[in-house]
Chains A and B, each alone.
Chain A
Amino acid sequence: MTVPKKVSEYIDFAPPADVIENHTGIKLVLDIPGANTEGLSGNVEEGELKLTADTNIIRCDKNVRYKRTFQISDQVDVENVKARLENGVLELTLPKHEHAKVHKVKIEG
């Protein structure tokens, strides 16, 4: 049995991502098998969303690490980004700022 062990070195993989848009914002869905919430980190800096997820999977004597960067428009409400990790799939919800949402105006008459 391979005992999951922490190795100081990492091998980076860029996980596949789906991007879904709806009226309220953007949804990012990434496949990051083997990652759990402890090893997951994300931050927004200078309009870039950087995601990193450590795993215990060993590849070429190194720990597999997922890394991906997305450019974000300033219309995204960075303060209210939500993340959910389930079964190796990370789902990020990036809401639009209230002022960036499309409001439909009904014409009376």
Chain B
Amino acid sequence: MLAKRNESWGLFNPWRTVNDLHKEFLGLFDDLSEGLNRFRANYPKVNLTEGKKEFVIQMALPGYCHENVDIEVVSNFLRVSAERCQPELAEGERFLHLERSFGKIEEAIKLSTKIKSSQVKAKFTDGILTITMPKQETEKAKTIRITKSK
């Protein structure tokens, strides 16, 4: 009777190690590794669209602070660098699984035309950085007449 009770009250069985308990509790994540083989955990990183007058780029930067995001525009180049640090674990916490990446990322993109760097706008919502870059007007072709030489 007592043994039975111990079995159903797993926690009170003195012969079980904490590790066993962890394993049982984390039946939760047994399937994770199997799941990982099925798909690569990810999300789209960059979307770039070109309109008639502007380029719009969307970058996924979840958990990044806008203070740690740098945007540079030169001629027809765009460079975005951002950094997010791995949050420190509180006392008693430990990682069981780690898929998210941390550290510095840099994205450099060459655009097909020059952009008006002074009018570039950026906003950051829900972990998506959206940069709108108006194009510089391209010079129109000039027709040059040849004057007849007398």
Contact = CB atoms under 8 A, between A and B. Distances in A.
B26 interface: yes
Given A20-B93, A22-B90, A87-B64, A13 B44 contact: yes
A25 to B, nearest CB: 9
Report, as a range, how many residues of chain B touch the other chain.
35 or more
Contacts, number: 139
A89 B62 contact: yes
Nearest to B42: A13
B92 A23 contact: yes
Contact of B61 (A15, A33, A71, A96): A33
A2 interface: yes
A55 B39 CA distance: 20
A17 B94 contact: no
Contact of B97 (A17, A31, A76): A17
Interface stretch (B75-83, B98-106, B108-116, B136-144): B98-106
B89 interface: yes
Interface residues of A, number: 44
Contact of B60 (A29, A30, A34): A34
Interface string A54-76: 01011100001010011111011
Interface in B1-37: 11, 18, 21-22, 24-32, 35
Interface of B: 11, 18, 21-22, 24-32, 35, 39-44, 47, 49, 51, 54, 56, 58, 60-65, 89-90, 92-101, 126-128, 132
